[in-house]
Chain A
């Protein structure tokens, strides 16, 4: 390279978007019907599109790298974990010196330094610490988590951001697509979720394999596997002996706890003539670890990143909508259309509106839920969340709760901590799920135009 060209961008950077442009600046046979090729789309990816990556572990490292190399610059990544030695074989954005540091921060530092123009931002905290205002800023959320609880929480958050028009139809500008990847050993899946429009995490909860458990009587009396011995110590012997006192519960991350369980499990294995109880297996059973495979992570993350690109640009129709990958024997993959459940606890739960007088008592609301054509409930149980805490307002099915919440029936909205726009959760035999109902204060019920009710 001649010295005079130092001012100019190096050639590899000039040609950086060459291939991406071919996808975005001309139509193709798989393009979305509404796709309009233009140079603006690349500009959207480079300068506007905001993406949240959830998890900075095996999948997260891959995702962050893939997305940043595709041109996405405004990427946030959230992970509460710190780096451990055992991560380094596959979580390639981390080095030995990083052990003990935040995964999110190290990952961001690495890609921002390595990929010109990337402006990733790290959040070292649980996803639950971030609020609606935070999640609402993103165009797309992509998730590489190993926890079902966290996935369900994120799913619920994105559902709660949905807005509905007055006619009850979904306001599509409130939809934040969720691309979800998951791996377990040599198996994995990737899926595209359009909240309120296609099957969500709760719709397909049955697809997650249940945690592996053994019958209690087997582990107590007729252990045959080394896992049975470890489970026995975990489930029965720990609470019997409480080696660190009754206040300390078993922690699979505490090496002393693992060592104690190992010792006891080995004693038990010896007694029953079972071989194979070792530290690794003990840790595996305690933490329910399934070995992570780098190539599975890479494949699933690549699928997810491609789907993010498709959603963001419309240059190609998205996968519809659930892909499974199995590499245990050869390579097998299959894509199917996971269907929405009409009784899904998360995505069928579009918030309904109940118009009430500000002076109404809880009893009046209960009567309205029973008599109003829109609800026609039989015996509604009502709870709410006030200042972040659950509060049971009334429930007649359980005697002890009925007795202690009966006084609430006489109380007015304000006395119960409810306000205009507050949400109450109502369970009743007439609905497949607990429904969320938003209270809307009105001055006089007679003046209500019935067309304002939302289906």
Chain B
């Protein structure tokens, strides 16, 4: 432990005294961390990112084009919003493409454990990218958000596959309409 204030040097600067170069705003911890995450982003070949504003690293889109599985040939866009409490809190991720998927509902909510209850500060944007990619390879009917799709995947795989195809080509599955999202 140091003795911080010897009485001789107890006088502090008065408020507002400027120091050279001291006026530049400081980057937040969230900003520093996301810069690191993105500089080391190592995307699988099926994924790509888009930054509407390259100066804003906190808001971007991830595009996944699966090359195998039920969703092969589709193009799915996710929006990422990284908040000021990153990485204490996970980014907010939504699916902007309408998709017939057991773990993604029609509003674009995504049920992926690391986006909510299992998020940890050691995880990165890369972890989320791999998690999302995995959802397209292995949809998980045990954790359903779209219950109809989940039940179908479990009871009738072929019918599920047909419905996924129909949705990706553009059309109705049940009473829900899906925009075409084939590449």
| Given A32-B1, A210-B119, A434-B32, also A149-B84 (CB < 8 A) | yes
How far is A320 from B56 in the complex, measured between Cα atoms in Å? Answer: 40
Contact flags (1/0) for A382-402 with B, using CB distance below 8 Å?
Answer: 010100111110010111110
The answer to whether A240 touches B107 (Cβ under 8 A) is yes
Contact flags (1/0) for B34-71 with A, using CB distance below 8 Å?
Answer: 01101111100000111100111100000000000000
- Distance of B33 from chain A, by nearest CB (Å): 6
Contact flags (1/0) for B88-107 with A, using CB distance below 8 Å?
Answer: 11000000000000010101
Q: Does A294 contact B (CB under 8 A)?
A: no
Which single member of A48, A215, A390 contacts B117 (CB below 8 Å)? A215
For residue A54, which residues in chain B have a CB less than 8 angstroms away from its CB?
none
Contact flags (1/0) for A364-377 with B, using CB distance below 8 Å?
Answer: 00000000000000
Contact flags (1/0) for A200-226 with B, using CB distance below 8 Å?
Answer: 001001101011011111001100000
Q: Does A349 contact B (CB under 8 A)?
A: yes
How far is A213 from B12 in the complex, measured between Cα atoms in Å? Answer: 45
How far is A386 from B20 in the complex, measured between Cα atoms in Å? Answer: 16
How far is A216 from B119 in the complex, measured between Cα atoms in Å? Answer: 13
For residue B147, which residues in chain A have a CB less than 8 angstroms away from its CB?
220-221
Q: Does B174 contact A (CB under 8 A)?
A: no
Which single member of B1, B10, B13 contacts A136 (CB below 8 Å)? B13
| Given A172-B4, A221-B144, also A434-B109 (CB < 8 A) | no
Q: Does B143 contact A (CB under 8 A)?
A: yes
- Distance of B93 from chain A, by nearest CB (Å): 11
> Which of A92-100, A251-259, A418-426 interfaces with chain B?
A418-426
From residue 118 to 134 of chain B, which have CB atoms closer than 8 A to chain A? 119-121
The answer to whether B111 touches A345 (Cβ under 8 A) is no
Which single member of B36, B54, B115, B145 contacts A405 (CB below 8 Å)? B54
| Given A133-B16, A392-B55, also A194-B32 (CB < 8 A) | no
How far is A215 from B111 in the complex, measured between Cα atoms in Å? Answer: 7
How far is A321 from B48 in the complex, measured between Cα atoms in Å? Answer: 45
Q: Does B137 contact A (CB under 8 A)?
A: no
How far is A205 from B103 in the complex, measured between Cα atoms in Å? Answer: 30
| Given A160-B26, A427-B40, also A398-B51 (CB < 8 A) | yes
| Given A205-B88, A392-B55, also A425-B32 (CB < 8 A) | yes
Contact flags (1/0) for A26-64 with B, using CB distance below 8 Å?
Answer: 000000101100101100100011100000000000000
> Which of A2-10, A150-158, A298-306 interfaces with chain B?
A150-158
Contact flags (1/0) for B4-34 with A, using CB distance below 8 Å?
Answer: 1101011111111111111111111101110
How far is A220 from B15 in the complex, measured between Cα atoms in Å? Answer: 53
For residue B41, which residues in chain A have a CB less than 8 angstroms away from its CB?
397-398
The answer to whether A156 touches B110 (Cβ under 8 A) is no
Q: Does B154 contact A (CB under 8 A)?
A: no
For residue B7, which residues in chain A have a CB less than 8 angstroms away from its CB?
38, 40-41, 44
| Given A217-B103, A311-B4, A345-B33, also A134-B16 (CB < 8 A) | yes
Q: Does B116 contact A (CB under 8 A)?
A: yes
Q: How many residues of A contact B (CB 8 A)?
A: 87
How far is A421 from B105 in the complex, measured between Cα atoms in Å? Answer: 50
How far is A314 from B6 in the complex, measured between Cα atoms in Å? Answer: 9
For residue B158, which residues in chain A have a CB less than 8 angstroms away from its CB?
none
How far is A249 from B17 in the complex, measured between Cα atoms in Å? Answer: 41
How far is A156 from B26 in the complex, measured between Cα atoms in Å? Answer: 8
- Distance of A439 from chain B, by nearest CB (Å): 9
How far is A150 from B148 in the complex, measured between Cα atoms in Å? Answer: 43
Q: Does A137 contact B (CB under 8 A)?
A: yes
Closest to B85 in A: A149
The answer to whether B3 touches A34 (Cβ under 8 A) is yes
How far is A388 from B49 in the complex, measured between Cα atoms in Å? Answer: 26
Which single member of A205, A390, A404, A423 contacts B31 (CB below 8 Å)? A390
The answer to whether B50 touches A400 (Cβ under 8 A) is yes
The answer to whether B10 touches A400 (Cβ under 8 A) is no
For residue A82, which residues in chain B have a CB less than 8 angstroms away from its CB?
none
The answer to whether A217 touches B17 (Cβ under 8 A) is no
For residue A399, which residues in chain B have a CB less than 8 angstroms away from its CB?
48-49
> Residues on A close to B: CB < 8 A?
32, 34-35, 38, 40-41, 44, 48-50, 132-134, 136-139, 148-149, 152-153, 155-157, 160, 172-173, 175, 177, 194, 197, 202, 205-206, 208, 210-211, 213-217, 220-221, 235-236, 239-240, 311-312, 314, 317-318, 320, 345-346, 349, 379-381, 383, 385, 388-392, 395, 397-401, 404-405, 420-423, 425, 427-429, 433-434, 436, 438
**Nearest 4 CB-CB pairings of A with B:** A421-B21, A381-B39, A427-B39, A217-B143
| 25 examples of A-B residue contacts, CB within 8 angstroms | A137-B13, A137-B14, A137-B15, A148-B88, A152-B29, A153-B28, A156-B29, A202-B29, A205-B88, A210-B120, A216-B115, A217-B143, A221-B145, A236-B109, A312-B5, A385-B27, A392-B54, A397-B38, A398-B49, A399-B48, A420-B21, A423-B24, A427-B36, A428-B39, A429-B40
